[in-house]
Amino acid sequence: MGKLIFHGQSCTEIVASDGTRLLIDPFLTDNPQADVGREHFHDRLDYLLLTHGHYDHVADAWPLLEETDPTLIASFEIVAYAQEVLGYDKTHPMHIGGGYDFPFGRVKLTPALHGGQVAGKGSDGYTTVPAGLLLTLDGCGIYHAGDTGLTLDMGLLAGQVDVALLPIGDNFTMGPVDAALAVDLIKPRVVIPIHYDTWPLIAQDPESFRARVEPRAEVVVLRPGDEYEF
Ligand code: NI
Ligand code: MN
């Protein structure tokens, strides 16, 4: 059995049953909701995955590369930034629609409708399209939507997703109404709301989201530090 630990905003840690430790979109130091700092990952981090380059998704990624030596999995341009500007070569570039079988499971990049600027010193010219992540590990399909608006394309994920992490914060991404429509398209078994309450601008009530979604899918509300076993 694997587990998923939410650390606030979109930051999600995944520990596979074999102990492989993955981290998605690290935003810890400047995240008022984060329950841990980068030191939490200093004992082991095998893979660092990024959906896109915005500050609230990569702020702690660049130092974590140096501190924990993970394999960076991201779009080609974000990987190019890590290689060419940061001098970090332990990388695996991918792009939208492509999947790859890693030792821990499969990763596929999905479309996300959002901005693609890369936050970081010397990042000019690495702007790219954002992504979502479809992970298949320990027999479970996990969709981390990244930052995105509602798209009909999400319907193509139906049948592949057991657990969907969907933004509900509104303003920058889907809000609760559109995220509930996304559930109808994706048809996951479990939905975990993300990307809300970090700042007043994206304050939301996850219980009203639950009321919109259940019983079509089970809504699991994780506060930073909470974990979900899959
Ligand atoms: Ni963003
Ligand atoms: Mn964001």
Here the tokens at position 33 are 């909701």
User: What are the DSSP calls for 58-106, one per residue?
Assistant: HTTHHHHHHHH-PEEEEEHHHHHHHHHTT----EEEE-TT-EEEETTEE
Largest CA distance in the chain: 48
CA of 147 from ligand 2 middle (Å) equals 5
Give me the pLDDT at residue 220, please.
98
CA distance 41 to 50: 16
**Residue-range domain boundaries for the chain:** 3-222
Q: How confident is the model at residue 11 (pLDDT cuts 50, 70, 90)?
A: very high
Residue 224 Cα, ligand 2 centroid: separation in angstroms? 16
pLDDT tens-digit map of 174-212: 999 999 999 999 999 999 999 999 999 999 999 999 999
pLDDT of residue 164: 99
Q: Is-cis flag, bond preceding 70, omega within 30? A: no
Structure tokens at 70: 């993970």
Q: Give pLDDT tens digits for 78-113.
A: 999 999 999 999 999 999 999 999 999 999 999 999
pLDDT of residue 223: 98
* Predicted local confidence at residue 206, as pLDDT: 98
Structure confidence at residue 60 (pLDDT): 98
Measured in angstroms, how far is the CA atom of residue 57 from the centroid of ligand 2?
6
Which tokens is 60 given?
């702690």
> Which pTM was predicted?
0.98
- Structure tokens belonging to residue 108: 């596929």
The predicted structure's pLDDT at residue 37: 98
**Ligand 1 centroid – CA 147 distance (Å):** 5
Task: Identify the three-state secondary structure at position 133.
Answer: strand
Task: Enter the DSSP assignment of 59.
Answer: T
Half-sphere CA count of 200, side-chain side, radius 13 A: 0
The Å distance, Cα 166 to ligand 2 centre, comes to: 12
Give me the pLDDT at residue 87, please.
Answer: 98
| CA distances in angstroms from 3 to 104, 138, 140, listed in the order given | 13, 10, 11
Q: What is the mean pLDDT of residues 124-137?
A: 97
- Residue 182 and residue 101: Cα distance in Å, rounded? 26
Q: 3-222: which CATH topology? A: Metallo-beta-lactamase; Chain A (3.60.15)
Arithmetic mean of pLDDT over the chain: 98
* Rounded Cα gap, residues 149 and 216, in angstroms: 21
Ligand nearest to the CA of 194: 2
129-150 mean pLDDT: 98
In this prediction, what percent of the chain has a pLDDT beyond 70? 100
Three-class SS state of 167: strand
54 alpha carbon, closest ligand: 1
Residue 118, pLDDT score:
97
**Which pLDDT belongs to residue 113?**
98
Q: What is the mean pLDDT of residues 101-126?
A: 97
If you average pLDDT over residues 32-47, what whole number do you get?
98
- Distance in Å, CA 198 to ligand 1 centroid: 13
Assess contact for 187 and 158: CB atoms under 8 A.
Answer: yes
Measured between alpha carbons, how far is 203 from 190 in angstroms, rounded to an integer? 22
